[in-house]
Each structure stands twice: as structure tokens, then as C-alpha cells.
Amino acid sequence: MKKAWLLGFGFFSISITWALYNAFVPFFLEKFLTSTALIGFMMTIDNYFALFLQPWIGSRSDRTKSKLGKRMPYLLIGMPLAALFGALIPWHTSLLTLVLFMVLMNLSMSLYRSPTVALMPDITKEGKRTQANGVINFMGGIGSIIAFAGGSYLYDKHSSLPFLSASILTLICLAILLYAIKEKRDTLVYAPAEEKTKISFKGQWNRPTIFLLCAIFFWFLSYQGVEAFFTLYGKNHLQLSESEASFSLAFFSLAFVVAAIPSGLLGNRYGKKLIITIGVIGLIIIFAAISLVDALLPLRVLLLCGGICWAMININSYPFIVSLGEEKSIGTRTGIYYLFASLAAITSPPLMGALIDLLDYSVLFYVSSGGMVIALLFLLCVKDKGLARTAMKTDATTSV
């Protein structure tokens, strides 16, 4: 579990970068664009890269051979480039340069996201993966808290400071990962697949996987819409300041951090599907309730509860997907997981933005609650009999 904590620095850098990107880039775009739908479309650039690149890179990393291992070469290239272009975003001089820096940063992030995520099951036994996912997402949640709380403070000083700080932290995290994680030493079975035995996407589509991926699509559809537009929702619908709106998201992230490790333990003990189901039902209720709130205190209380529910969903979903396939397909299934998450993230902001343009910002949380209802219906179709017992048995036999 020590390696999971160290690997968490990779998730820390990813989370702090995306949190700042989603919180403050809409303000930059708003200076040039009047259409909320168009702003939403621009915020999906990263997901177009993820849609095409991450499944391919995830699968490619399963077959990569190098002195650094299967995954590390992608981190070594992608993280410095992401740090560079991320730092340049607030220094745009026009819509063209803003979009250029956004594209280059997102392209760089797509190079290393799937390999970073795939490292967790590589170095963690099956019975410990849900718990390890809780640990690394705990670290990611710390990054989000720093981004929303510290980032809002720095943004008030100068719009470039949050992005510069995130870039520096990304480079520090890369140094920690290169020093602490040695793939050929730490990977449980270090044996990259040969090119002649390619792992195809076709072989991954069993019935439980399909239903679970559909559920993943719809809960990310809801979550990504809220994440992309919450700061504008707070500013334009609740009349909060820009810093108040971004700081409010820190309450969601704080609850996610507190609940991350317990969610992993609960998923390991009672089964991933049950804990995810409780989280989805919770967010259906919370998103509907936020639609009725117009004061800051109850909003932040509901965001705290929402963060707990999102942890129950997010911590258990990736290990759930991995558990439905073979060990040799970890990178491939990681890519498929992000393929569906990216499809949702591509669809959600333009859809939410168009509905906001057509109606008003009050529609945001109603639609998000509805998306969670559809996710719940697909989740209930996933048959996972024996998975929880198998995980518990594996955990018991591998515990010291």
C-alpha cells in the first residue's frame, strides 16, 4: 500500500491541473464568447483527445518495452509538456492563442493519463485494488482542494499564479514518481504482451462490462456538466463572486477526500456494485435538492454530501471495470473506461450549455439528477455475483 500512496502523486498532479482548468478557463473563454453552449463545447477539447488517444495509448502501453517499464515513458514525455502548456494558458493574447494553449495542454495530458491510472493495478494485487484506488484518489482529492481553495486565492492575486503553481507541482510529482516507482521491480508480473498477441477491444465486451460502461457514461454525463458549469452557475444564477463559486467546489472535493479511503474499504467489504449504487442514489437526491437552494451555506452542505456520494461511485468504478477482464488487458480496459468517460464529457458541456441558453442556469442540476437516474438503471443490470466474495477471499489470502 506504500506504493499506492507514492503513485498518488501522479493523481495529485492530474487532479490539481484539471480542477484549475475547469474552474478558471471558462472565465477566460467568457471574455471572447457569449454563447454558453459554445463555451461548453470548448471545454470538451480534452475529451476529444481522450476519445481517440487514451484507448490507443492505454493499449499501446500494455505492449511497451523500455528500461523504465511499460507506463513510465509516457509520463516522462507527457507531464513536462502538460506543465509547460498549462502555465501558458493565462498568458493568451487572443481567442486563437487561448485555444492553441488549451489544445497543446490537453494533448499532453492525454499522453500520460491512461498509463498513470494503469500503474495502480499493475503494482497492486486484485484484493487490494479498491482500497488502493481509494488511496490514490485521496491524493487526487487533496489536489482538487488545493486547486479550488488555494487557486481562488492565487487567482485574485493574478490569473496566471494558479496555473504556474500547478505546473511546478506537476514537475515535482514526476520526479517523485520516477524515484519511487520502478516498474520492473514493483509490477506484480512484468511481462509486456508481444505485438503478435495484440489485446483487442473486441474481446473486452462482455454483458456486465457493457452495462457498467453505459452506467459510467451517464453518471459522468451528470458530473461533467456540473463540473464544467458550476462556477458560472454560482456567478450567474446564485450571484456569487468568481472566487466564492470556485471555493464552494472545495467543499465537494474535501468530502471526496475524506470519503475516498473509506469508500474503497466499503467496496472491498460489501461489494463494489452495492457501494456505487448507494452513491448514485445519493447524488440523484442531492442534485435535485441543489436546484432548490439559493443560499451559500445550504449549497456548501449539499456539496459536502455530494462529495461523499461521488467518492462511493468513483473509487469503486475503475476497479470494477478492471475486475471484469483479464490481467493482461489492464491498459486496454483503462482506455475503454476513459473512452466512455470522455464520450460523456464531450456530450455533457455542449448539451448542458444549450439547455442553459434555451432555459436558464436552473436547469443544470435537474438534468444532472436525471442523468444519474439513467445511470442507476444501467447499474442495476450489471450482474456481479461472486465478485465481492472473490475480492474478499483474495484480500484475506494476501493479507499479512
Q: Print pLDDT tens along the chain (400 aa).
A: 667 777 788 878 888 888 888 878 888 888 888 777 788 778 777 667 666 777 777 777 767 777 777 788 888 888 999 999 999 999 998 999 999 999 899 888 888 877 887 777 777 776 677 778 778 878 877 887 787 778 878 888 888 898 999 899 999 988 988 888 776 666 665 455 444 445 444 555 678 788 999 999 999 999 888 877 787 787 777 777 777 777 777 788 788 888 888 988 898 888 888 999 999 999 999 999 988 887 788 888 999 999 999 999 988 988 888 777 665 666 677 778 878 887 887 888 778 878 888 887 888 889 999 999 999 999 998 876 544 444 444 333 333 2
The alpha carbon of 399 is separated from its chain's Cα centroid by a whole number of angstroms, namely 29
Cell triple for 160: 496566471
Residue 57 C-alpha cell reads as 495509448
- Three-state SS for 86? helix
Give the span between the Cα atoms of 134 and 340, in whole angstroms. Answer: 21
φ, ψ (nearest 5 deg) of residue 322: -60, -40
pLDDT score, position 87: 93
Whose cell is 497492486? That residue is: 124
pLDDT given for residue 55 in this prediction: 72
Helix ranges restricted to H, the chain: 2-30, 36-42, 45-62, 72-88, 95-123, 129-145, 151-157, 161-180, 183-186, 207-236, 242-270, 272-290, 296-323, 330-358, 363-379, 387-398
Among residues 56, 61, 111, the alpha carbon closest in space to that of 82 is found at 111
SS3 content of the chain, % helix, strand, coil (to 5): 85, 0, 15
Burial 206-225 (b: 16+ CB within 10 A, else e): eebbebbbbbbbbbbbbbbb
pTM greater than 0.85: no
What's the CA gap between 79 and 174, in Å, rounded? 7
338: Cβ contacts below 8 Å, ≥ 6 apart: 50, 54, 55, 58, 113, 114, 117
Q: Which three cell numbers stand for residue 221?
A: 454525463
Which of 353, 347, 395 is CA-nearest to residue 374? 347
Are 98 and 92 within 8 A, CB to CB?
Answer: yes
Burial zone of 396 (CB within 10 Å; 0-12 exposed, 13-18 middle, 19+ buried): exposed
383 φ/ψ angles, rounded to the nearest 5 degrees: -95, 115
| pLDDT for res 202 | 54
* pLDDT, position 372: 94
pLDDT in the model for residue 285: 93
DSSP state at residue 189: S
* Domain topology for 2-188+205-398: Growth Hormone; Chain: A; (1.20.1250)
